[in-house]
């Protein structure tokens, strides 16, 4: 191609771009950019959200994804990335900050994938929820099979907390410091949780104190499933956290995961439950919402199933919006393409707000109009 042809092609391209800009209206303002784009069309979720309220998604990668027949989602799926940046104002690494992922060998930390998420968040004006530091699951085998003494384990945990929390100091809005500490009857998991078993319950206070020293501005949370309503487990948290606060332990928040199923009734006392934690002076949050449904043999969702799902999403969001200190609502993935549900719950699925082809489901629209109504 001659230089001249190239020049005229460039000229045409520039003219087209100018014309297109003129057609769709004025350039994007700084405010609009912060919101994720111009507001000529239907708003995105983050645009619809009331001021100060963040709407988040887990960022797919690690965990179950490793065995799936697709490339690592977050770095490779452009449509996914585009929607993640546009629709959400908060992100949670789905697995990339868990022990087995970020600390795969005793002397090796692998920060790259989580760093990429934190960078993405910064570029898209999103906050980050860190997940997680103290948990019974997804610990590396060097740790669980290491036969360490209590003194060694405590030192390993302390180093991990200072290293990981310190690495992201100033970049994390909320840390799920302690994940799933209690069993269904509200007792500490002292058998299946390595840390509680080997180090005793006092380790919880230590981890909150270490995390606070490593990043004094991050809000430090307890996070669990099955605690959406008032029940033995959430009662257990209320007394555990009250005791810790009385001892001056820096606990800032209590969050409910929100993994629901259309099989069961909706936890109607969600707002009342969150409110009793807010009354302790805590931040609250909903951190991992999905609503799975029965799809035997890979059946397609029916209209009735999608409507019930939308209703559950909406009521979760309404429950959070009803409580002053609940300012963060996160879905555990936004597309069925990458959901953990079919992998962990055979014959269940379609749990997120968009289909595998990124088509918005009734649940998406229910969230958006609920956000808009609250604004």
CB of 274 to ligand XIL, least distance (A): 18
x-or-dash string of contact with ligand XIL, 37-56, rule CB under 6 A: --------------------
CB of 337 to ligand XIL, least distance (A): 13
Residue of 87, 180, 228, 348 marked active site: 180
CA atoms of 234 and 280, how far apart (whole Å): 14
CB of 38 to ligand XIL, least distance (A): 33
**Any residues with CB less than 8 A from the CB of 294 and at least 6 apart, and which?**
262, 263, 347, 348
Which CA distances in Å does 363 have to 309, 310, 368? 6, 4, 9
Measured from the CB atom, the residue of 46 and 129 that comes closer to ligand XIL is 129
Torsion of CA 23, 29, 32, 34, to 10 degrees: 140
CA atoms of 302 and 246, how far apart (whole Å): 50
Binder of ligand XIL out of 46, 57, 89, 94 (CB under 6 A): 94
Binder of ligand XIL out of 36, 63, 73, 319 (CB under 6 A): 63
330 touching ligand XIL, by CB under 6 A: no
| DSSP string covering 295-312 | -GGGPPPPHHHHHHHHHH
The DSSP bridge partners found for residue 128 are 91
Measured from the CB atom, the residue of 138 and 275 that comes closer to ligand XIL is 138
113 touching ligand XIL, by CB under 6 A: no
CA atoms of 179 and 158, how far apart (whole Å): 17
352 touching ligand XIL, by CB under 6 A: no
CB of 64 to ligand XIL, least distance (A): 4
Measured from the CB atom, the residue of 35 and 57 that comes closer to ligand XIL is 57
Measured from the CB atom, the residue of 63 and 236 that comes closer to ligand XIL is 63
257 touching ligand XIL, by CB under 6 A: yes
Choose one: 58-66, 105-113, 196-204, 292-300; the region binding ligand XIL (CB under 6 A).
58-66
Determine whether 180 is an active site residue: yes
Which CA distances in Å does 137 have to 98, 133, 313? 9, 11, 26
CB of 225 to ligand XIL, least distance (A): 6
β-strands 283-294, 348-349: how paired? antiparallel
**DSSP conformation class of 138:** S
Q: How is the chain split among helix, strand and coil, in percent rounded to 5?
A: 45, 15, 35
99 touching ligand XIL, by CB under 6 A: no
Strands (E), 167-282: 174-179, 219-224, 253-256, 259-261
CB of 105 to ligand XIL, least distance (A): 20
Q: Please give the residues from 179 up to 218 whose contact with ligand XIL meets the rule CB under 6 A.
A: 179
CA atoms of 119 and 103, how far apart (whole Å): 20
Active site residues: 180, 288
Contacts with ligand XIL by CB under 6 A lie at 63-65, 94-95, 179, 225, 257, 288, 340
């Amino acid at each position: 191609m001659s230089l001249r042809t190239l020049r005229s092609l460039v000229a045409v391209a520039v003219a087209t771009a100018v014309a297109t800009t003129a057609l769709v209206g004025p350039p994007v303002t700084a405010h609009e950019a912060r919101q994720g784009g111009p507001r000529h069309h239907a708003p995105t979720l983050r645009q619809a959200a009331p001021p100060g309220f963040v709407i988040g998604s887990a960022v797919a990668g690690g965990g179950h994804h490793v065995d799936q027949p697709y490339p690592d989602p977050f770095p490779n799926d452009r449509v996914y990335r585009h929607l993640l940046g546009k629709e959400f104002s908060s992100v949670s690494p789905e697995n990339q900050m868990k022990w087995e992922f970020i600390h795969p060998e005793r002397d090796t930390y692998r920060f790259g994938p989580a760093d990429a998420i934190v960078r993405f968040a910064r570029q898209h004006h999103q906050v980050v929820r860190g997940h997680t530091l103290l948990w019974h699951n997804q610990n590396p085998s060097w740790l669980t099979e290491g036969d360490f003494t209590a003194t060694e384990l405590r030192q390993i945990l302390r180093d991990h907390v200072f290293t990981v929390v310190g690495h992201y100091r100033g970049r994390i809005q909320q840390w799920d410091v302690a994940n799933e500490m209690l069993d269904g009857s509200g007792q500490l998991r002292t058998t299946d949780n390595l840390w509680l078993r080997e180090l005793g319950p006092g380790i919880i206070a230590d981890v909150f104190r270490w995390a606070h020293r490593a990043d004094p501005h991050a809000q430090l949370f307890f996070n669990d499933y099955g605690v959406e309503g008032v029940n033995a487990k959430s009662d257990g948290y209320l007394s555990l956290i009250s005791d810790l606060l009385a001892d001056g332990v820096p606990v800032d928040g209590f969050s409910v995961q929100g993994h629901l199923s259309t099989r069961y009734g909706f936890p109607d006392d969600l707002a009342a439950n969150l409110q009793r934690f807010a009354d302790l002076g805590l931040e609250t949050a909903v951190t991992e919402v999905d609503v799975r449904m029965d799809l035997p043999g890979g059946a397609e969702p029916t209209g009735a199933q999608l409507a019930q799902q939308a209703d559950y999403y909406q009521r979760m969001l309404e429950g959070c919006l009803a409580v002053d200190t609940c300012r963060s609502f996160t879905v555990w993935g936004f597309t069925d393409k990458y959901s953990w549900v079919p992998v962990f719950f055979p014959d269940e699925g379609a749990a997120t707000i968009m289909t595998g082809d990124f088509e918005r489901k009734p649940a998406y629209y229910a969230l958006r109009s609920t956000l808009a109504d609250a604004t």
